[in-house]
Structure 1
Amino acid sequence: MGSRITIGSDGMQCIGAYLAQPEHAPRGGIVVAQEIFGVNAHIRSLVDRFAAHGYCAIAPAFFDHLETGVELDYDAQGVARGRVLVDGLDLDTVMADVASAADAIGSAGRIAVIGYCWGGTVALLAACRLGLPAVSYYGARNVAYLDEGSRAALQFHFGERDQSIPAMAVQRHREAFPEAEVFVYPAGHGFNCDRRKDYDEPSATLAARRTLDFLERNIGAGS
């Protein structure tokens, strides 16, 4: 369903992105923020899925600033490599990429950001710094930015068995963003990804339903 395109970034640099268009007039646009594993098959499948629900969706390849075409596996080597790449990125650059991706699909209507894992923190920052409605899935790095204050609607999804995000950290989200929706599932980290060992289908299905409800309320046609 989707295709690879190029979008502008800081200065003269461009980065890649995966774009999927809905069959009919879009209900809005979604920027999908990747995990630490790059714009891999899982992220592309999410982009395609959102397009199937009527949204124009795009996943910018943030790692293109460092290395082109990164797609990592969900194993120890992939985790180690992904963390190195994430640490090599400046978040101001990433926010500029999100803004550029949003501009690229601006004709779709209102735009939201949905992020997973490290991308969950990117999504939070998009709400705080860019004023875009955002859905953050298990963003373990969120706690460093909870004092920024959101300029847009937020929804959070966490697994109660996620060792990287203890219950106290989840509660801090509720306190920092009292207007946000915060959901916790009987699952571990990465429960939305069917390529991870912590994949939990019932939790992923419920989270997806809640995400689509959020999109309908905040960027969907007539919102």
Structure 2
Amino acid sequence: MGAMEQVKSLSGSAEFPCYIAKPDGKPAAAIIVIQEIFGVNNGIRAKCDHWASLGYLAIAPDLFWRIHEGTDLDADVPEQFKTALDLMGKFNQDQGIRDIEAAIHYAQNSIGNHKVGCVGYCLGGRLAFMTACRTDIRASVGYYGVGIDGLLGEKHAIAHEVMLHIPTADGFVAADAQAAMHAGLDDHPKVTLHDYEGLDHGFAAEFGDRRDDEAAKLADSRTQAFFKEHLA
């Protein structure tokens, strides 16, 4: 359904690749799909295609384009997992937010309004939270975002609704980090947190060994209802 296209960077001095899936007819809203450390792989592309099937313009920016353009890795292959971790170590997250903002501007211009949301996974879950704090995104969803407990100093800047999906047995987000997220965000009027008892990181991956189908469908239904409400 979608294809890779070039989008201008925020400065306008360069272009970078994004997977863009377009619905039948003119979309009323758009969703930025923010990659895991595995790049814009088949799972991320499938999520874009799904959102397009629901009538949204869906855009997945290749956030690693400056260090390794075209990253497309499989979490279930150990060597590729290691490559992904290496790329994560080289990735400039602040620059990544600027690229996400460029994708937001592209989406706004494409649909003719500001009804743009984002959904991210793993690294992308962290970036979705950062996007909510640093841009004019209208709704943000993060799945098993890493290190959000270290970003709570930015929560005052959240202007629009945020939803976070938190698996309680996440091997990359310890129990004390989860507790800090709840302590810092449970009373925030714009933030909703959902816990998934006993589940691990990556439970909503579209494909592969990490997926828990029942929990993924529950989380995705919550995300779908969230966007339907806040991007209407």
TM-score computed with the length of structure 2 as normaliser: 0.89
What amino acid does structure 2 have at the position aligned with 1:116?
A: Y
Whole-angstrom CA distance in 2 between matches of 1:38 and 1:203: 23
Residue aligning to 1:182: 193
> Following TM superposition, by how much is the alpha carbon of 1:10 offset from its aligned partner in structure 2, in angstroms?
5.1
Cα distance in 1 for partners of 2:227, 2:206 equals 22
Query: What does 1:38-187 align with in structure 2 at a 5 Å threshold?
Result: 38-74=39-75, 75-106=77-108, 107-108=110-111, 109=113, 110-132=115-137, 133-149=139-155, 150-177=158-185, 178=187, 179=189, 180-186=191-197, 187=199
**2:21 maps to which residue?**
20
The residue number in structure 2 matching 1:5 is 5
Moved more, 117-126 or 161-170: 161-170
Equivalent residues of 1:147, 1:176 under 8 A apart: no
- Secondary structure of the structure 2 residue equivalent to 1:73: coil
Tell me the secondary structure at the aligned position of residue 159 of structure 2. coil
Query: Contact between 1:191 and 1:203, CA under 8 Å: does it hold in 2?
Result: yes
CA contact (8 A) 1:31 1:114 kept: yes
Match of 1:218 in 2: 230
Gaps of 5+ in 2: none
C-alpha separation between the residues in 2 aligned to 1:194 and 1:214?
19
Residues 195-204 or 39-48, more deviating: 195-204
The residue number in structure 2 matching 1:37 is: 38
Paired amino acid for 2:131: A
Q: Distance in 2 between matches of 1:216 and 1:102?
A: 18
Find runs of 4+ consecutive structure 1 residues off by over 3 angstroms. none
Which amino acid counterpart does residue 156 of structure 1 have in structure 2? L
Flag structure 1 segments of 5+ consecutive residues without an equivalent.
Answer: none
- CA distance, structure 2, for counterparts of residue 209 and residue 121 of structure 1: 20
Aligned alpha-carbon RMSD (Å) = 1.5
Corresponding residue pairs, total: 220
Secondary structure at 1:42's aligned position in 2? helix
Pairing partner for 1:195 from 204, 207, 231: 207
